[in-house]
């Protein structure tokens, strides 16, 4: 059975596995380890800036997305994270997570949702563009990667 549920910090290890197994381009190029990822997720829960939603297939967490319920502008918010385990990609799960976040944000009264992604992430950018996200701007040196393209592109969708 598949369902999307709200996640708390008890899911830190399972979220780490999703990040690791999603094989994000930037993580791979920069040799980011599983332990780095676990610390990253722990820090994000400690900051408390994100609402985490996970996609469960039977009892396995196979993807997640997060919403930051604030972004500069009038009733704007940000989809901060989206990842699906590689072996479950291209089955519509990323799309379901995006729709869930958009619907949640809309119900909360947000007008626009923004997201950043890597300028060189061609497939990811076309994935967002096909789902109604429009390019707003680009930001050189946005990411703290040690190597590779650090430029981010900002996308927006009207809810």
Question: Which residues would be at the binding site for ligand COA (CB under 6 A)?
Answer: 22, 24, 82-84, 89-95, 117, 124, 127, 130
| Least distance (Å) between residue 74 CB and ligand COA | 24
CB nearer to ligand COA: pick between 76 and 153: 153
Nearest distance in Å: CB 46, ligand COA: 22
Supply the minimum distance, in Å, between the C-beta of residue 22 and ligand COA: 4
Nearer to ligand COA, 20 or 104 (CB): 20
- With beta carbons less than 8 A apart as the criterion, state whether 119 and 152 touch: yes
Q: Which residue is nearest to ligand COA (CB)?
A: 94
Rounded alpha-carbon distances, angstroms, from residue 152 to 15, 33, 71, 137: 23, 22, 16, 9
Tokens of 29: 């190029």
Question: Residue 105 Cβ, how far from ligand COA at the closest point, in Å?
Answer: 16
Separation in Å, CA 123 to CA 120, 127, 135: 9, 6, 14
């Amino acid at each position: 059975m598949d369902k999307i549920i709200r996640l708390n910090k008890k899911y830190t290890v399972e979220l780490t596995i999703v990040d690791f197994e999603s094989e994000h381009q930037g993580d791979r190029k920069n040799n980011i380890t599983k332990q780095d990822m676990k610390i990253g997720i722990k820090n994000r829960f400690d900051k408390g800036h994100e609402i985490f939603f996970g996609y469960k297939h039977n009892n396995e967490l196979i993807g997640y997305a997060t919403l930051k319920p604030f972004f500069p502008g009038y009733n704007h918010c940000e989809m901060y994270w989206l990842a699906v385990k590689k072996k479950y990609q291209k089955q519509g799960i990323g799309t379901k997570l995006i729709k869930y976040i958009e619907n949640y944000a809309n119900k909360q009264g947000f007008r626009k949702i923004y997201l950043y992604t890597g300028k060189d992430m061609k497939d990811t950018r076309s994935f967002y563009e096909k789902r109604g996200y429009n390019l707003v701007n680009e930001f050189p040196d946005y990411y703290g990667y040690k190597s590779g393209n650090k430029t981010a592109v900002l996308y927006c969708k009207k809810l």
